[in-house]
Amino acid sequence: MSPVAGTTRYLCPLECGWHHDRVPFPDAWIPSHASTPIAPEAIQRMAGELVRQNAEQTEAALREHLATHTTEQFVMTIQVLRTEIARLRGAGPVRPDGEQT
């Protein structure tokens, strides 16, 4: 299923298929019923708070998901990525310590 337009999708770096979607901020985060104009500083403060909350929620979701993976899965993924980098650079295979063979 495709996310809503403008959604930011965070993928698991271990490529297990998990993802976390963050939908765009609704226009309604600024009160339209205010009887007086809202100062730019207030809008900036509200927007900053929304961005901070969004970042905290995204990080919490990612940390919670990553806790479901084993250390072995992380090590294997790192090795696969190192091998791919070496291949793209035209070098030979990479040892587990990251050095070229």
**Tokens 């929304």, residue located:** 50
pLDDT band of 81, cuts 50, 70, 90: very high
C-alpha span between 5 and 96 (Å, rounded): 41
- Average of pLDDT values for 59-71? 96
Q: Which two tokens stand for residue 1?
A: 């299923």
Q: Which pLDDT tens digit goes with each residue over 24-35?
A: 776 555 555 556
Ramachandran class of 38: left when φ > 0, alpha when ψ lies in -120 to 50, beta otherwise: beta
Q: Is the pLDDT reported for residue 90 higher than 70?
A: yes
Residues 6+ apart with CB under 8 A from 10: 19, 20, 21, 22, 58, 61, 62
pLDDT at residue 31, rounded to an integer: 59
Q: Is the pLDDT reported for residue 66 higher than 90?
A: yes
- For the entire predicted model, the pTM comes to 0.65
